[in-house]
Amino acid sequence: MKRRSPVCYGTCISRCFVFIFITFLTACATAKLSQSGQQKIKGKTFVVTGASSGFGRGVAVMLGKYQCNVVLAARRKEVLDEVAEEVRAAGGKALV
């Protein structure tokens, strides 16, 4: 049996990770929770890092729409206060 070099394994693992990561992002960006899914997470607490912009901000606001408790973490507190207001306006509870 021929042994593969460690570089080959690293490349394979990297490619698999990229594929899974892209698939995850695509699914998260387009999927909506069913009614039963919304009921399961309603009132639960989630910690969102990087919540001041981009994907983290979108996830935080979406969790607010599902009436979740959202703990927001990022480097810019001023922006987090704005995101917290968005979460509260959507129906969730936010903690900065």
Mean pLDDT of 5-30: 51
Give the C-alpha separation, 2 to 17, whole Å: 25
Query: Would you list the domain boundaries of the chain?
Result: 1-31, 33-95
Q: How confident is the model at residue 30 (pLDDT cuts 50, 70, 90)?
A: very low
The CATH classification number of 33-95 equals: 3.40.50.720
Query: Quick one: pLDDT at residue 34?
Result: 87
Q: How confident is the model at residue 26 (pLDDT cuts 50, 70, 90)?
A: very low
Give the C-alpha separation, 93 to 52, whole Å: 16
Q: How confident is the model at residue 32 (pLDDT cuts 50, 70, 90)?
A: confident
| Res. 1: pLDDT tops 70 | no
Amino acid 75 reads R
